[in-house]
Homo-oligomer: A and B are copies of this chain.
Amino acid sequence: MSFEPQKINGKFKGKDIVSLDQFSPKDIDILFGLAKKMQKIAYNGKPSDVLKGKIVTLIFYEPSSRTFGSFGASVKQLGGQTIDILNPQVFSSVSKGETLEDTIRVFEAYCDAIVIRHPVAGTAKIAAEAAKFVPIINAGDGIGEHPTQTLLDLYTIQEKEGKLNNLTGVMAGDLLNGRTIHSLLRGLSFYKKNTVYLLSPKELKLSKDDYKKFSSLGVKLVEIENDKDIPKNADFWYWTRTQKERFKSIKDYERLKTPFVVTKDLVARKAGKKTIIMHPLPRIGEIDPVIDSDPRAVYLSSQVRNGMYVRMALLSLIINGK
């Protein structure tokens, strides 16, 4: 795809970012090249003018202070400003019965891009179709997609491993419900010869459909149920929390809350010198805090910062076309 604004019905509109599937490996290369430059902009101490005079609306229909903070920081690091609309379904005319389409058309009049978070899958696409002038970025729509999360995960792997193919990784936790898991598997499928060990209790295994889908897309999947079967020296570990909000019974949740924990012992037994330890956060006990200071642990350091660089790059591309 092209990141440049496109002429639609005689009007230029920036590229909507709704799904990871829009990206080719070449697009990802362009994005990551710019993200690398953004890293320098963010920490050189000099104010950036990349988005000076630009306004981005952050409209969040469900709470996510991390994603909200990351997008807000991305805009502001580049000298832009945000309009923050939180929980409009409670605090605004949305509560009076306004459609999402009308809300989007109103806010697009005020700004240069809209970042939307919504609990219902498919909402970002509806918003993108409603917006006539400004691009929409999907910041997570329920069990749907959260493309910038996956892009930052891929960026982190590439930064540390120098490649996105020929990788061996471990993904652990709630593989059944975890959106980040599914999305990263999709991302890895863009590249060749990647193998992922899927560590989870039986109840939280990847669904059969997902297993088939990602296998057929070219990712080699190996399901394991015991951390003894983790391969040594994998390139990355990607741990996730069990998605409490998907459980009907609190008892079931408690039993499956932290089936596998990254401990010092596990790291000593299985991790290699270059194995990076990732987590999309928040973590609720899946990684012992004693690991935080291990240089291979990136979940509280470069993985978080990379989210900002990737979002800075994406905003610059879709607003400025470069």
Contacts and interface: CB of A to CB of B under 8 A. Distances in A.
Interface string A295-308: 00000110011001
A167 interface: no
A283 interface: yes
Residue among A48, A111, A282, A301 facing the most chain B CB atoms (10 A cut-off): A282
B300 A95 contact: no
A25 B321 CA distance: 44
Interface stretch (A73-81, A188-196, A207-215, A266-274): A73-81
A55 B77 contact: yes
Interface stretch (A97-105, A141-149, A153-161): A97-105
Given A96-B244, A97-B284, A304 B106 contact: yes
B93 A65 contact: yes
A85 interface: yes
Contacts of A77: 55
Contacts of A84: 84
Contacts of A26: none
A169 to B, nearest CB: 23
A8 to B, nearest CB: 13
A264 interface: no
A111 to B, nearest CB: 6
A120 interface: no
Contacts of A102: 281-283, 300
Contacts of A109: 301, 304-305, 308
A69 interface: yes
Nearest to A104: B300
B69 A110 contact: yes
Given A53-B79, A64-B92, A66-B92, A106 B281 contact: yes
A232 interface: no
Given A85-B69, A105-B300, A47 B55 contact: no
B69 A93 contact: no
Contact of A93 (B87, B91, B281): B281
A98 B281 contact: yes
A284 B98 CA distance: 6
Nearest to A84: B84
Given A90-B63, A102-B281, A76 B69 contact: no
Interface string A215-255: 00000000000000000000000000100100000000000
Contacts of A282: 93-94, 96-98, 102
13 contacts: A46-B53, A63-B90, A63-B91, A65-B103, A66-B106, A69-B83, A69-B107, A72-B110, A96-B244, A102-B283, A106-B281, A109-B304, A109-B308
